[in-house]
């Protein structure tokens, strides 16, 4: 058996975002013969003993790496995220960013499989990818996106909930050939990624563009993130976005998304001057204004700041207040669900919602044509092969009901 470089074992675990104790548990190590499970894994990573092939197979599965990666002579560099547009908090946990790397690797692998299948049909490239630049200006890019999407803001605002409004917008985006996924972890709540670290990802491919929205964020923020990432596609920029936006391109995409969801005319139609310097009155007015429009409170505050109706200090105070308020509401909802022993929607309903109509329809059509095996379909969908059939069957029924 080839010699395994122990540095590879540590690299694979760390880039999967797993501390030693979690990794040891996932691999299946147990305390035995006077050694703890953590000691056993640490010994492998220190080179004190070689890993068996069975252990390597378990590591490959839990660390989300191909088995061949463990036979590399040395750890490779960081995977290609595209541009990193984020301004990260100073106290970021390195393991959290490692989870982001693992997520981006997974998305890129799935996108490549979709692109490969599409290329067999010799598709035309999508004309809107990299069709604009920042020199065109916010208004021009926003207008072009609105026209392409046939986006009707009135209908968006008429939706009963922010989630329904997002679904309406998502359908318009996916109709252009863009795959939109809701992903905020690696398949378990233990690997959930906070929006400050990762809010969205755009893969500006001219054949199979992907957009990922972090579903750990507030639902009212999803539509803004989606349009922000769509703006990246229009600029032809692949990359990852976070909670804060110090880079010029991030501010530009924020402005585009803001103009689409909350045009300047709507902001100017309200009297904000009377509450601009009173935090309590301001946040109350923002809340009353945003809720019926299916907008996030932070978006309204951001628009007020960019329109110079409030200063930066007030904007930052509002942003923190609304973020803290949402965190409390999220924690309360989770506790209430535990107390009520509520299972919530079924696995398949949740999974379909995260994957989106476009990807599910693509996989179903490719399988019907004999171009995809269940195993490959499972990899594209990020599920186990045995769940592919019920997942697709249920999605077809849901889509048919939606079209009645």
* pLDDT single digits (tens) 106-123: 899 999 999 999 998 888
Q: What pLDDT was estimated at residue 2?
A: 72
Q: What pLDDT was estimated at residue 78?
A: 59
Rounded to 5°, angle at Cα 99 from 94 and 100: 95
Structural domain boundaries in the chain: 6-71, 80-261, 265-340, 347-402
Q: What is the pTM of this model?
A: 0.81
Asked whether the beta carbons of 277 and 239 are under 8 A apart, the reply is no
Assign domain 6-71 to a CATH class.
mainly alpha
Q: What pLDDT was estimated at residue 93?
A: 58
Alpha helices in 124-244 (DSSP H): 138-149, 153-158, 162-174, 219-235
Q: What is the DSSP letter of 83?
A: E
From first to last of its 404 residues, the chain has per-residue pLDDT tens of 578 999 999 988 888 878 899 999 999 999 987 899 999 999 999 999 999 999 999 998 898 887 877 887 888 665 555 666 655 555 555 566 777 888 888 899 999 999 999 998 888 899 999 999 999 999 999 999 999 999 999 999 999 999 999 999 999 999 999 999 999 987 777 678 888 888 999 999 999 999 999 999 999 999 999 999 999 999 999 988 876 666 889 999 999 999 999 999 999 999 999 999 999 999 999 999 999 999 999 999 999 999 999 999 999 999 999 999 999 988 888 787 777 765 667 889 999 999 999 999 999 999 999 999 999 999 999 999 999 999 998 766 565 444 43
């Amino acid at each position: 058996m080839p010699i395994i470089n122990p540095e590879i074992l540590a690299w694979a675990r760390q880039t999967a975002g797993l501390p030693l104790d979690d990794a040891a548990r996932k691999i299946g190590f147990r305390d035995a013969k006077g050694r703890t499970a953590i000691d056993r894994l640490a010994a492998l990573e220190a080179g004190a003993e070689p890993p068996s092939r069975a252990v390597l197979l378990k590591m490959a599965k839990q660390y989300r790496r191909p088995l061949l990666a463990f036979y590399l002579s040395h750890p490779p560099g960081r995977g290609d995220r595209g541009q990193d547009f984020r301004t990260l908090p100073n106290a970021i946990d390195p393991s959290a960013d490692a989870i982001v790397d693992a997520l981006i690797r997974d998305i890129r692998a799935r996108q490549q499989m979709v692109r490969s299948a599409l290329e067999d049909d010799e598709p035309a490239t999508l004309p809107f990818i990299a069709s604009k630049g920042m020199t065109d200006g916010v208004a021009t890019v926003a207008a072009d996106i609105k026209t392409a999407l046939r986006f009707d803001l009135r209908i968006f605002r008429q939706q009963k909930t922010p989630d329904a409004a997002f679904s309406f917008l998502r359908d318009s985006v996916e109709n252009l050939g863009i795959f939109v996924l809701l992903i905020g972890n690696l398949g378990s709540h233990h690997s959930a990624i906070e929006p400050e670290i990762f809010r969205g990802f755009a893969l500006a491919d001219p054949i199979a563009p992907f957009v990922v929205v972090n579903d750990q964020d507030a639902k009212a923020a999803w539509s803004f993130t989606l349009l922000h990432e769509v703006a990246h596609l229009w600029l032809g920029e692949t990359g990852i976005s976070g909670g804060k936006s110090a880079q010029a391109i991030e501010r530009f995409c924020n402005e585009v998304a803001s103009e689409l969801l909350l045009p300047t005319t709507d902001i100017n139609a309200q009297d904000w001057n009377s509450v601009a310097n009173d935090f309590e009155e301001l946040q109350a007015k923002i809340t009353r204004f945003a809720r019926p429009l299916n907008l996030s409170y932070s978006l309204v505050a951001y628009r007020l700041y960019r329109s110079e109706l409030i200063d930066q200090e007030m904007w930052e105070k509002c942003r923190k207040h609304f973020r803290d308020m949402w965190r409390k509401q999220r924690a309360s909802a989770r506790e209430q669900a535990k107390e009520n022993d509520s299972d919530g929607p079924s696995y398949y309903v949740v999974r379909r919602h995260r994957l989106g109509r476009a990807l599910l329809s693509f996989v179903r059509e490719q399988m019907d044509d004999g171009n995809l095996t269940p195993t490959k379909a499972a990899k594209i969908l990020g599920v186990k092969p045995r769940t592919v059939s019920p997942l697709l069957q249920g999605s077809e029924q849901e889509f048919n009901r939606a079209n009645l």
